Structure 1
Amino acid sequence: MSAFRDLVADMDTTLFDTLADDATIDGRPVRGMFAAPWLAPQVGRLNTGIVEPHLTVRDADAAGVEKGTVVMVIGQGYEVVATEPDGTGVTILVLRPV
């Protein structure tokens, strides 16, 4: 791995350790950043248009996750409806309440 990739991996570890929520994917504990649509996320003065709850996790934690996989976060159960890797080492799990 290059020095840059090592630095980015260290940064991701710090960010997820500090900012992420505890969650489980099919009972396996993970750390992820949960976003809820009812909070009306905004970028500057523009609404983002995000309507589904989603959990952003590291690619390694998303490995093997398929549609229908059960995710528990903040005491609520969700079903994965889509996975969206972004090419930077994280994957967004698009969720639907169950």
Structure 2
Amino acid sequence: MRMMVFAAVLAALGACSSPSLRFVGVEPVTVEVEGWSIDVYADDGAAEAIRMTVDWDQTPALMRERGIIAVERATGWVVDRRTVKGDGNIVRMRLTSQPYTQ
């Protein structure tokens, strides 16, 4: 029984968008990128992208690529690609002062 409760809690946590402490209180902007739903949190020149879609074939490189696209669409600013760090679920980055044009 304990394992079932533990599995249910893990499943619920896996489907939620919980930003890092820096972005607590910031409302996310949800962006669709190539079939993925990504929540973007941005504040004061920094951004965080959290993948909401389950994809067993994801890689950290693919998440970085799609996270950059999502952040630029959501914020309207270009990402400083030298600052992008993260894994297959969450990426964090800094924004430049250049407006994003599609």
TM-score by length of 2: 0.45
Looking at secondary structure, tell me which structure has more helix per residue: 2
TM-score by length of 1: 0.46
